[in-house]
Amino acid sequence: MERGSSKHGPRIDEQMSQEVAGLVQGPGTGGSRVEEFREAEPAGEDQPGATTAPAGELRTGAPQGMSSEDVEARSRLGRFITMAALPGDREALVANARDNEAPADIVAALQGLPDGTRYQTVSEVWAALGHKNETTRW
């Protein structure tokens, strides 16, 4: 015996699964390709396009004192400085960033750090590069 729904027959189960196929298969970035009516209509000629960031911020929840762009840039810096390099000075940070195949702009910024200073965290490195960190944490 094949186990199925106890509320419906196989024909109705199949029909119900087809009704939600567009939702189950996922809309992706361009909307559902399964059911065309689910795609958003384009903006009119004199209307602005729809955006997920109407205020210009790409993400919410940026800490006080930093913009979302600052958060993204600091995160990008942190991707190329591993915990093995911290605490560390300029030479250790540059060597670690090169080992992690950091882009030239990150390496150049790290080479501009003052000599003889040890940094404990990526936030300290970020501040030494002339950027702002969050003003309050938690």
User: pLDDT in tens for each of the 138 residues of the chain?
Assistant: 565 556 777 888 888 877 777 666 665 555 545 556 666 777 888 887 766 565 655 555 667 777 778 888 888 999 999 888 999 999 999 999 999 999 999 999 999 999 889 999 998 999 999 888 887 765
CA-CA distance, 90 to 92, in Å (whole number)?
Answer: 6
Q: What is the structure's pLDDT at 56?
A: 57
Query: How deeply is 113 buried, as exposed, middle or buried, from its count of CB atoms within 10 A (0-12, 13-18, 19+)?
Result: middle
Burial label for 61, CB within 10 Å (0-12, 13-18, 19+), is exposed
pLDDT for the residue 58: 55
Alpha-carbon span 26 to 70, nearest angstrom: 32
Give pLDDT, residue 105: 94
- Contacts within 8 Å (CB) and 24+ apart, 101-104: none
Contact 105, 97 (CB under 8 A): no
The single-letter code of the amino acid at 127 is A
In this prediction, residue 53 carries a pLDDT of: 60
Which pTM does this prediction carry? 0.54
Residue 103's pLDDT is what?
92
